[in-house]
Amino acid sequence: MRDRLIERILLLAATSAVAMLALITVFIFREGLPVIFDQGPLSFVTGLTWAPSLGQYGVLPMIAGSALVTAGALVVGLPLGLACAITLAEMAAPRARAVLKPTIELLAGVPSVVYGFIGMEVLVPFIRNAPLLGGPGYSALAASVILAVMVLPTIISISIDAIEAVPRSFREGSYALGATQWQTITGVVLPAARSGIVAAVILGMGRAVGETMAVIMVAGNSVQLPHSLLDPVRTLTANIALEMGYASGAHAQALFATGIVLFVVSLCLNEIAGRVRGRSRVSVVVAADAPADAEARAELLGDSGMRPSRMEPSL
Amino acid sequence: MTTTATLAMLFAAGCTRATARNSGDVVLAGSTSIQPFAERWAEDYTLGRVTVQSGGSTAGIKAAHDGTADVGMSSRQLHAAESEGLVQTVVARDGIAVIVHRANPVHALTLAQLRGIYAGTIRSWRTVGGVDAPITVITREEGSGTRDTFQERVMGDGVGIAREALVTAYSGGLRKMVAEDPNAIGYVTFSQLNARVHALALDGVMPTEQTIRDASYHLQRPFLFLTRGAPTGASEQFLQFVLSPRGQSIARAEGLAPVATY
């Protein structure tokens, strides 16, 4: 009797979280869809002009802006993050590791407005005054660099998990064949951890796409298709946060419509990340059951035993 | 201006027709730009409780029309159709200063030059008598009242602000951006002016309290209180307070140009 009561309460708590998500979804779509259909879905997504005062709502510059800064963040952040993950998981002495890993995780706890402020005070003037760079400083480049630092903890910690999940026997097999440590890492460990690393990258992308405050502070927020990394850009999230203050009527709805685009992008990234990881979990089972040779197993196997951590699309 | 006449009428009405009510609540609604100042007035008003709701000038005009608020607030001029049946009182004037970096040798622009800079046709400071450097144009976000006024008073119909312009949602942030970039130009409300940036003269007129009040400085907007018919009762009392030396000195302390000198 008491067990059933507790069960009910827990069920209620569980469904309320899902109901919240459902409500948010319904609300965003109800508010945003009318503008999308007034404008025509295609012209909303591919329109180049965002002029709420003239009733023109095209979000392509923002989609391009989000894509550019996210890609930039990965170009800068992925090599760094991967190098850091390999070092920590495979090479670092246990003592160094005990210090470095928590420090990196601390990086995730720094509020985004702090990153944005550092970007404004240090990075933007640097870009403006540096030879070969120049321009206003507020740019896709500034946003990319700041985002790269912000996605590092995500990429590093998930990659470390993926690398550590590669069974010890793989490495031992590799060494037994006469491979060096570096050959083992590049030839056996990384391929085996590939799907986990891909998931790390996609979750990092989700973080970059959803980031708002830091990006607003350094990206310049011009509604234009960027021609270079030094051009100011506006991201989808920035569009909502910038204009929500005074928006009313159709303008406010258009911001919700921007939210729909963001929602769909985040959902897709989440789904892809989930699938990549799901595939790897299946292959672990296969690999564990099949008495295949180490190379074939390495081919099949990815990360395992990781908790699927959720991505937070900060809408 | 008709508003000046309205003002005189209001004073006359206030003197002759003393209201019997000692206290009365007043509901204000409208412009988000006026809202903080209205709240300051409401704080010091002792004859009744004043409720200030925001929602934008258009909403304020509508609220005054249909009576959902006693007083509507608008920070833009009313269209002919909107003004029918409404009495408009200018309670203060808000100037918008065009600002540049302190080291910028340019100290004055014509309206046409300013329009060219913001439309993206003038791209170098050299064109307007400055150094040979590209102009960093900074603007406020869509929906901002300051931007609306800038658009209306400087750009006019049909000429939009260039896409390349940097956008920020905070006037303090905009001032900081201008203060740190020697090639930047931006605009902020008069009250946001400080020593870190310098203001430009427009068509030869510097923005000062005096030039904003006498309307010789072009880039400004009136803060209008709207009532359906001549204000009566509690609304009238509140308007009298706002236009009194006390009310106007509050406006001045908050960085607005008062409408009357005492």
Residue the block writes with tokens 């209008």? B224
- Of residues A184 and B18, more confidently modeled: A184
Please report the pLDDT score of residue B90 as a whole number: 92
pLDDT above 80 (res B242): yes
- Of residues B143 and A97, more confidently modeled: A97
Partner residue facing B144 (CB), from A50, A128, A246? A246
* Helix and strand totals (H; E) in chain A: 15, 2
Beta bridge partners of B87: B227
**With an 8 Å Cβ cutoff, is B13 touching chain A?**
no
Residue closest to A258 by CA, chosen among A19, A21, A39, A18: A39
Q: What is the pLDDT of residues A254-304, one digit of tens each?
A: 999 999 999 999 888 888 888 887 665 544 443 444 344 444 444 444 444
pLDDT above 70 (res B200): yes
On the CB side of B58, CA atoms within 13 Å amount to: 7
Helices (H), A179-249: 181-184, 190-192, 194-210, 213-219, 236-243
Partner residue facing B142 (CB), from A52, A138, A222? A52
Which range among A136-145, A159-168, A303-312 shows the weakest confidence by mean pLDDT?
A303-312
The C-alpha angle with vertex A198 and arms to A231 and A105, in degrees rounded to 5, equals 80
At residue A232, the 3 state secondary structure works out as: coil
Q: How many CB pairs under 8 A join A and B?
A: 68
Nearest CA in chain A to B178: A136
Give the percent of chain B with pLDDT over 90.
50
Cα A245 to Cα A1, B32, B173: the distances in Å are 52, 10, 15
Q: What is the pLDDT of residues A23-81, one digit of tens each?
A: 999 999 999 999 899 888 898 999 898 988 888 899 999 999 999 999 999 999 999 99
Could you say which DSSP state residue B90 is in?
E
- For the record, the structure tokens of B35 come out as 């809202």
Contacts of A238 (CB under 8 A, 6+ apart): A62, A65, A212, A215, A216, A219, A221
Q: Which residues of A touch B132 (CB under 8 A)?
A: none
Q: pLDDT-based confidence at A2, cuts 50/70/90?
A: confident
Contacts of B154 (CB under 8 A, 6+ apart): B111, B114, B115, B118, B219
Cβ separation B164–A138 shorter than 8 A:
no
pLDDT above 80 (res B188): yes
CB burial readout A214-252, b (16+ within 10 A) else e:
bbbbbbbbbbbebeebbbbbbbbbbbbbbbeebbeebbb
Please report the pLDDT score of residue B77 as a whole number: 83
Q: How far is B63 from chain A (nearest CA, A)?
A: 15
Chain A interface residues facing chain B, Cβ-Cβ under 8 Å? 50-54, 61, 125, 128, 136-138, 216, 220-224, 231-232, 234, 241-243, 245-248, 251
Please report the pLDDT score of residue A28 as a whole number: 92
Indicate the residue type of B7: L
Q: How far is B246 from chain A (nearest CA, A)?
A: 30
On the CB side of B24, CA atoms within 13 Å amount to: 16
- For the record, the structure tokens of B172 come out as 């303090």
**With an 8 Å Cβ cutoff, is B151 touching chain A?**
yes
Backbone angles phi, psi at B89, to 5 degrees: -120, 125
Q: What is the C-alpha to C-alpha distance for residues A119 and A219, in angstroms, rounded to an integer?
A: 10
Q: How far is A72 from chain B (nearest CA, A)?
A: 20
pLDDT above 60 (res A87): yes
* H or E element at residue A43: helix A41-46
- Whole-model pTM: value is 0.79
Give the percent of chain A with pLDDT over 90.
61
Please report the pLDDT score of residue B12 as a whole number: 43
- Mean pLDDT (chain A) is 85
pLDDT above 90 (res B179): yes
Mean pLDDT of B106-128: 94
Please report the pLDDT score of residue A279 as a whole number: 65
Cβ separation A242–B167 shorter than 8 A:
yes
Q: pLDDT-based confidence at A236, cuts 50/70/90?
A: very high
Cβ separation A137–B166 shorter than 8 A:
no
Cβ separation B164–A243 shorter than 8 A:
no
Q: Please give the full DSSP string across B163-189, using - where no structure is assigned.
A: TTSEEES-HHHHHHHHHH-TTEEEEEE
- Of residues A147 and A301, more confidently modeled: A147
Q: Is the dihedral of CA B153, B158, B162, B163 positive or negative?
A: positive
Backbone angles phi, psi at B170, to 5 degrees: -125, 135
